[in-house]
């Protein structure tokens, strides 16, 4: 099955193009406070190393802008930056003035339309982008009351109202997010929006939870949408490390063949036939290949009977017997080896392919 992406308008965020046939981009948001320059610098570096393509930072107060400016002056960022603004529209204006690539604003708390118009005008002048980000927890009360508290209808109405406002001011360089913590509400909102508008959609499940819970919830929600061709950028929101958000993002896109990034380990679940500590071996392979950026499918199988056959699609794989293992490439056995030093031998063969 090949996923047919919905056609969206192409916008520019810094040097990147979002929407249309451009790759679905993986974003994250820093967790450190911006005034803790040492920590935030190393977080940004780690995010860039694991291929985070857009980085969003919270700009909660006036003072935050000086820190952001100093990070920008030091050229810490090699990817587009999004300043995340709530409540104070002047923060958005100042961030645009110092040259951020995009501001994320929440229409539910940014104040009146006059203020919004000022942000739009400034973004236009600076050739920056805007993300209209509606969250289920902060919808405008007026819209919520009008829709009798219906979250989905209210989120859609809030987005459409803002889209019309942006368009009336002749500004089109914006993308949209409409995240709810309920997977089904999020799916519903994005489906409706993708029928009604063609601006790029940033997809995610907000407040998804800790690493495992949040990754599963995000995979389910985003998986439904992405499989329907909806989504131009994604963020997996985790109560955890930002680099894990990026890794989870790529795993979701890889599993739908929407991106082909890094090593994808196809490992068998193990069963009564397994003769080695396969779980440990799979983790060690994962660790040994974590810095590879080239898309590569690596199979780690517990037995030689089913292993190569079950993992035909893998670029390279290993299947274990009692004291021996076979390395196979594209389902065909390349060599059989003694189990001693097997990890090193396998990694050596794997890097030959990389």
Interface residues toward ligand SF4, by CB under 6 A:
268-271, 273-274, 301-303, 306-307, 310
Query: Of 94 and 310, which has the nearer Cβ to ligand SF4?
Result: 310
* Site of tokens 């916008």: 11
Query: Of 102 and 301, which has the nearer Cβ to ligand SF4?
Result: 301
Q: Which residue is nearest to ligand SF4 (CB)?
A: 302
344: Cβ–Cβ under 8 A, 6 or more apart, which residues? none
Query: Of 187 and 268, which has the nearer Cβ to ligand SF4?
Result: 268
Q: How far is the CB of 1 from ligand SF4 (least distance, A)?
A: 24
Q: How far is the CB of 306 from ligand SF4 (least distance, A)?
A: 4
Q: How far is the CB of 279 from ligand SF4 (least distance, A)?
A: 11
Q: CB of 159 within 8 A of CB of 195?
A: no
Query: Of 51 and 270, which has the nearer Cβ to ligand SF4?
Result: 270
Query: Of 83 and 316, which has the nearer Cβ to ligand SF4?
Result: 316
Query: Of 263 and 282, which has the nearer Cβ to ligand SF4?
Result: 282
Q: How far is the CB of 304 from ligand SF4 (least distance, A)?
A: 8
- Tokens at 298, concatenated: 């690596």
Q: How far is the CB of 311 from ligand SF4 (least distance, A)?
A: 8
Q: How far is the CB of 329 from ligand SF4 (least distance, A)?
A: 17
């Amino acid at each position: 099955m090949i996923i047919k992406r919905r056609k969206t308008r192409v916008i520019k965020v810094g040097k990147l193009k979002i929407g249309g046939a451009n790759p679905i981009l993986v974003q994250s948001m820093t967790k450190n406070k911006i005034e803790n320059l040492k920590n935030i610098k190393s977080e940004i570096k780690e995010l860039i190393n694991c291929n985070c393509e857009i980085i969003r930072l919270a700009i909660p107060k006036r003072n935050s802008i000086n820190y952001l400016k100093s990070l920008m002056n030091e050229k810490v960022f090699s990817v587009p930056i999004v300043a995340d603004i709530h409540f104070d529209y002047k923060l958005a204006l100042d961030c645009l003035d110092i040259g951020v690539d995009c501001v994320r604003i929440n229409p539910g708390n940014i104040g009146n339309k006059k203020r919004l118009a000022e942000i739009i005008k400034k973004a236009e002048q600076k050739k920056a982008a805007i993300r209209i980000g509606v969250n289920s927890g902060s919808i405008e009360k007026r819209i919520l009351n009008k829709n009798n508290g219906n979250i989905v209808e209210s989120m859609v109405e809030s987005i459409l109202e803002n889209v019309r406002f942006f368009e009336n001011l002749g500004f089109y360089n914006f993308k949209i997010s409409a995240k709810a913590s309920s997977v089904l509400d999020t799916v519903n909102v994005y489906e409706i929006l993708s029928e009604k508008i063609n601006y790029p959609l940033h997809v995610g499940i907000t407040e998804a939870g800790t690493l495992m819970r949040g990754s599963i919830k995000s995979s389910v929600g985003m998986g439904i949408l992405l499989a329907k061709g909806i989504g131009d950028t994604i963020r997996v929101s985790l109560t955890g490390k930002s680099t894990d958000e990026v890794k989870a993002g790529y795993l979701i896109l890889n599993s739908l063949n929407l991106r082909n990034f890094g090593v994808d380990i196809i490992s068998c679940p193990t069963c009564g036939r397994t003769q080695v500590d396969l779980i440990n071996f799979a983790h060690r392979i994962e660790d040994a290949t974590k810095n590879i950026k080239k898309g590569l499918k690596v199979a780690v199988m517990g037995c030689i009977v089913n292993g190569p056959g079950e993992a035909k699609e893998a670029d390279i794989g290993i299947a274990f017997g009692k004291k021996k293992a076979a390395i196979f490439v594209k389902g065909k056995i390349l060599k059989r080896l003694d189990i001693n030093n097997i990890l090193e031998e396998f990694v050596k063969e794997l890097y030959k392919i990389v």
